[in-house]
Amino acid sequence: MKIYDLDFGLVRIFISGVMTLLSLGSVAAQEKTQMVRLAKLVIDPPHLENYKAMLKEEIETSLRLEPGVLTLYAVSEKGNPAHITILEIYADKDSYKAHIQTQHFLKYKNGTKDMVKSLELVETDPLIPGMKIK
């Protein structure tokens, strides 16, 4: 077969398919390296408002400045607002390691250490790893 006998439409479809497979492989590799966990905290109630303000500043700064911080989403229990859970998603362990060395994280960690009565870090495996948070 000569090159000028090729159906260029089929060639484009083939190349598009290869690019899609390469892209999916890249996404799958990223999902396997993501670090996902829950941080469960109990805050001393008299310090709750100050804690929430510092947490808000830290989360907003992290999401704005750190591409490896994919999600930091904090919630409190209804009827028990001093019990806070944070969903943390990092691109990989290196992104997490870099995050905990940042000035804004250290400011939060040092500024809230006397407000936190307990902290439990729960490592997780996502059940639907490719799901995006809107």
Q: Cα separations (Å) of 14 from 18, 28, 59?
A: 6, 21, 43
DSSP annotation of 78 reads T
**Cα–Cα distance measured from residue 134 to residue 75, given in angstroms and rounded to the nearest whole number:** 16
**pTM of this structure:** 0.75
Q: Work out the average pLDDT over 40-53.
A: 98
Q: Is 121 helix (H, G, I), strand (E, B) or coil?
A: strand
Contacts for 107 with CB less than 8 Å, ≥ 6 apart? 54, 58
User: Is the pLDDT assigned to residue 5 strictly greater than 60?
Assistant: no
pLDDT digits (tens, 9 = 90+) for 101-114: 999 999 999 999 99
| CA quadruple 55, 58, 62, 64: dihedral, nearest 10 | 100
Chain Cα centroid distance, residue 15: 32
Give yes or no for a contact between 41 and 86, defined as CB atoms under 8 angstroms apart: yes
Judge whether residue 25 has pLDDT over 70. no
